[in-house]
């Protein structure tokens, strides 16, 4: 029995491409004391994966020669720990690999859910990021206007739908008219603006006649700059990501910063989903109730096969996903849907 | 009897110069019902004056043909209002003029203080801006490191001294070694970094061995960008001004924004001193006690003569003041120091 894994061959200077990765066949991992061997079922594909290659952040950098890092749902297949037994389903940081040996204390046992995919989408990082960022950082009030970029993406789609559940006007920003239509007609946003079309400022101002109170920023760059110009006084900018900057060798900053932050008394605040781990149970309870009430549509974009993970990430950075992207690596164990 | 005033002749596109202003002799103002005529004693010179020429902000824009706007300490010389009588000393928005007619309800009667200049410096906009921005927005804790730009300026000098009173390590950023020496040796900062010298990042990192917890930003631009790189996780950036950008026809944004705001979970927040007007009494009480204890040195930079106001502002933007700059227009009435 062998294991397959994907390493980062070179750290990209500009756009990420398949050449930066290499697929390897290696020996099966052997667990040390306190470790488990995990069989990867589903790997989360996130823009953050790309930012990890830019240097140390809230976690160590991913460097050339490393097996690519990910967050994953896995099945325990061997255990050198009293915490887990074979067959357990866990969530943990992991690697782009079919099997990894991993410290048991860094794995979290997952509750039985109808679909494991939901543990990466609505009840996973995507849903929790949207909830904590919007609710705890953005603090919207019914009647306010929320704008969210990457609105067809996993986090953005939930942000808008949660905003609607709060009684806000919700405007998305997405790339291309087809995606914008989907955001409005399928996800139920009030409007969606195409950032690739000309006249973003005017389109945004028209879509937000009362200005913007909360901007949930997944992209940074020119879209952030334009949004700042439409923000209301005492508006909040939730800084969740800067996907437009990750592949950019010469990023540009918003030229109206910090000037507009001063005169409009804006609050710009960054967060990482783990910062609110203590409140995850509250988030999941709220997300479950909105799903049951039909207020939250769960969109999943599943790519099959470990070998397709590089393309799945490259495509995500180019914005070709709708909903939460993940890679299915191994089949679910018997008895798990 | 005639009145003299200074109008804005042209709105500057780049650097402000004397050619943008013109001195005029005009008739004495006549008060309407509810108005007072004010004799200008002291005019506050602030970087914000320049930003008002860039367009409407928290106040209407100053436009070509307008008498230049300012904040001033004045003596009431005529009154068509029951609120004030001749001889009263008031603070209000005003104009670059020897005399103005002004709505009485927009004037604030000033308490007797040993020196009227203090109403523009430590007990005025400068001191209150430093207090509210640092204490209410930055929220420093003893032992943390505070960095403040324009450290030899009126607000910056108070920010650093208040930071010391809170038990923080305080590092200034100023232009030129002479100013930096003054900030350390005279104002008592722990260190001061010259932003005009090469190697700002390294100098700042060396001056802040434990990183930066609160950055009080008066300048924006490249200094803000560099500071972001040295901020600690969960650091706070108090956005008070962007003096580096006001004279700049093609401003550049911090290229590491919003990326570093996300990964370091920074909070960047803008404010205007008037936002905290309800807490002014608290601020003045604290400032008074620090002055009495010798913890706060009151630095004033007084330029004489209305006709010198343009140069006073141009010089301020170039950073040639130490402490609070103001223009003395008229002599104090008898009995006022």
**Higher local confidence (pLDDT), B337 or B214:** B214
Distance CA B310, CA A272 (A): 48
Residues B185, B264, single domain; the answer is yes
Best residue in A54, A138, A253 for a mutation probing chain B (most B CBs within 10 Å): A253
Model pLDDT, residue A337? 76
Q: Are the beta carbons of A260 and A121 closer than 8 angstroms? A: no
Q: What is the ipTM of this complex?
A: 0.88
Residue B335, in any domain of the structure: no
pLDDT at A113 over 90: no
Nearest to B272 among A224, A258, A265 (CB): A265
Residue A21, in any domain of the structure: yes
State mean pLDDT over B49-56: 91
State mean pLDDT over B178-195: 98
- The CA–CA distances, whole Å, from A118 to A42, A129, A310 equal 11, 14, 22
State mean pLDDT over B87-93: 96
Q: Beta B145-149 vs B99-103: how paired, if at all?
A: unpaired
- What is the DSSP code (8-state) at residue B282? H
Contact residues, chain B to chain A, C-beta under 8 Å: 51, 57-58, 217, 220, 224-225, 233, 237, 239-242, 245, 251-272, 275
* CATH code at position B254: 3.40.50.720
Distance CA B263, CA A128 (A): 17
A242, B262: Cβ pair inside 8 Å?
Answer: yes
Q: Are the beta carbons of A156 and A223 closer than 8 angstroms? A: no
- What is the DSSP code (8-state) at residue B219? S
Query: Of A158-172, A235-249, A279-293, B77-91, where does mean pLDDT reach its minimum?
Result: A235-249
Model pLDDT, residue A276? 96
pLDDT at A27 over 80: yes
pLDDT at A248 over 80: no
pLDDT level of residue B156 (50, 70, 90 thresholds): very high
pLDDT at B243 over 90: no
Give contacts of A57 with chain B, Cβ < 8 Å.
263
Q: How many domains does chain A have?
A: 2
Domain membership of residue B40 as a residue range:
2-121+299-328
Best residue in A132, A264, A270 for a mutation probing chain B (most B CBs within 10 Å): A270
* Residue of chain A whose Cα is closest to the Cα of B269: A267
B257, A220: Cβ pair inside 8 Å?
Answer: yes
Residue A8, in any domain of the structure: yes
Average pLDDT of chain B is 95
Give contacts of A254 with chain B, Cβ < 8 Å.
253-254, 257
pLDDT at B177 over 80: yes
SS3 labels along chain A: CEEEEEEECCCCCCCCCHHHEEEEEEECCCCCCCEEEEEEEEEECCHHHHHHCCCCCCCCCCCCCCECEEEEEEEEEEECCCCCCCCCEEEEEEECECEEEEEHHHCEECCCCCCHHHHCCCCCHHHHHHHHHHHHHHCCCCCCEEEEECCCEHHHHHHHHHHHHCCCEEEEEECCHHHHHHHHHCCCCCEEEECCCCCHHHHHHHHCCCCEEEEEECCCHHHHHHHHHHEEEEEEEEECCCHHHHCCCCCCECCCCCHHHHHCCCEEEECCHHHHHHHHHHHHHHHHHHHHCCCCCCCEEEEECHHHHHHHHHHHHCCCCCEEEEEECCCCCCCCC
Q: Compute and round to an integer the Cα radius of gyration of chain A.
A: 20
Q: Are the beta carbons of B306 and B329 closer than 8 angstroms? A: yes
Nearest to B253 among A254, A270, A275 (CB): A254
Model pLDDT, residue A186? 97
Q: Compute and round to an integer the Cα radius of gyration of chain B.
A: 20
Distance CA B102, CA A187 (A): 55
Two tokens at B82? Answer: 């029951």
Model pLDDT, residue B71? 96
Best residue in B46, B233, B270, B271 for a mutation probing chain A (most A CBs within 10 Å): B270
Give contacts of B262 with chain A, Cβ < 8 Å.
239-242, 270-272
What kind and span of H or E run contains B324?
strand B324-328
Residues A100, A133, single domain; the answer is no
Residues A211, A132, single domain; the answer is yes
Model pLDDT, residue B233? 96
Peptide bond into B258 cis (omega under 30): yes
Two tokens at A162? Answer: 């949660």
Two tokens at B293? Answer: 């204890």
A269, B264: Cβ pair inside 8 Å?
Answer: no
A263, B217: Cβ pair inside 8 Å?
Answer: no
Residues A288, A318, single domain; the answer is no
State mean pLDDT over A311-333: 95
Distance CA A331, CA A310 (A): 20
Residues A133, A282, single domain; the answer is yes
SS3 assignment, position B333: coil
Distance CA A281, CA A214 (A): 24
The total number of residues written for chain A in this structure: 337
Distance CA A199, CA A195 (A): 8
Best residue in B150, B225, B258 for a mutation probing chain A (most A CBs within 10 Å): B258
State mean pLDDT over B13-23: 95
State mean pLDDT over A236-263: 88
Residue B204, in any domain of the structure: yes
Residues A148, A232, single domain; the answer is yes
B239, A225: Cβ pair inside 8 Å?
Answer: no
Residues B113, B69, single domain; the answer is yes
Residue A334, in any domain of the structure: no
Q: Are the beta carbons of B130 and B158 closer than 8 angstroms? A: yes
State mean pLDDT over A291-317: 96
Residue B333, in any domain of the structure: no
What tens digit of pLDDT does each residue of B268-298 get? 999 999 999 999 999 999 999 999 999 999 9
Q: Which of B88, B112, B105, B110 is nearest to B38 (CA)?
A: B88
Distance CA B134, CA B282 (A): 14
Residues B175, B32, single domain; the answer is no
Model pLDDT, residue A85? 97
Distance CA A227, CA A198 (A): 15
Model pLDDT, residue A115? 92
Give contacts of B253 with chain A, Cβ < 8 Å.
225, 252-257
Residue B188, in any domain of the structure: yes
Model pLDDT, residue A114? 84
Distance CA A298, CA B104 (A): 60
Residues B130, B111, single domain; the answer is no
Only one residue has tokens 């879509």, namely A207
* CATH code at position A19: 3.90.180.10
State mean pLDDT over A171-200: 97
DSSP B52-68: HTTS-SSSPPP-TTSBP
Residues B109, B132, single domain; the answer is no
In this prediction the pTM is: 0.90
What tens digit of pLDDT does each residue of A31-63 get? 999 999 999 999 999 999 999 998 888 889 999
Residues A149, A82, single domain; the answer is no
Residues A187, A282, single domain; the answer is yes
Residue A333, in any domain of the structure: no
Q: How many percent of chain B have pLDDT more than 70? A: 100
* Residue of chain B whose Cα is closest to the Cα of A220: B258
A220, B256: Cβ pair inside 8 Å?
Answer: no
pLDDT at A16 over 90: yes
How close is the nearest chain B Cα to the Cα of A131, in Å? 16
């Amino acid at each position: 029995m062998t294991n397959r894994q994907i390493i980062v061959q070179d750290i990209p200077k500009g756009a990420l491409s398949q050449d930066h990765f290499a697929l390897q066949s290696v020996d099966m991992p052997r667990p040390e004391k306190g470790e488990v061997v995990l069989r990867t079922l589903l790997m989360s594909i996130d823009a953050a994966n790309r930012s990890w290659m830019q240097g140390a952040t809230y976690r160590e950098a991913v460097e050339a020669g490393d097996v690519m890092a990910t967050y994953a749902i896995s099945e325990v297949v061997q255990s050198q720990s009293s915490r887990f037994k074979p067959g357990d389903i866990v969530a943990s940081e992991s690697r782009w690999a079919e099997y990894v040996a991993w410290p048991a204390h860094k794995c979290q046992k997952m509750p039985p859910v109808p679909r494991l995919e939901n543990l990466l989408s609505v009840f996973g990082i995507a849903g929790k990021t949207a909830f904590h960022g919007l609710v705890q950082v953005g603090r919207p009030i019914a009647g306010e206007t929320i704008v969210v970029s990457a609105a067809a993406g996993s986090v953005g789609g939930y942000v808008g739908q949660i905003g609607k559940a709060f009684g806000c006007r919700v405007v998305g920003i997405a790339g291309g008219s087809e995606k914008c239509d989907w955001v409005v007609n399928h996800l139920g946003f009030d409007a969606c603006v195409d950032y690739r079309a000309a006249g973003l400022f005017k389109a945004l101002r028209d879509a937000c006649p009362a200005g913007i109170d909360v901007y949930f920023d997944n992209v940074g760059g020119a879209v952030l700059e334009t949004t700042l110009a439409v923000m209301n006084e005492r508006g909040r900018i939730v800084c969740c990501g800067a996907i437009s900057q990750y592949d950019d060798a010469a990023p540009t900053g918003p030229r109206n910063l910090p000037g507009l932050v001063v005169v409009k008394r804006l609050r710009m605040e960054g967060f990482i989903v783990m910062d609110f781990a203590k409140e995850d149970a509250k988030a999941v309870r709220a997300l479950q109730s909105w799903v049951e009430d039909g207020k939250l549509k769960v969109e999943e974009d599943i790519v099959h096969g470990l070998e397709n993970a590089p393309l799945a990430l490259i495509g995500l950075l180019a914005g070709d996903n709708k909903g939460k992207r993940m890679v299915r690596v191994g089949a679910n164990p018997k008895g798990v849907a």
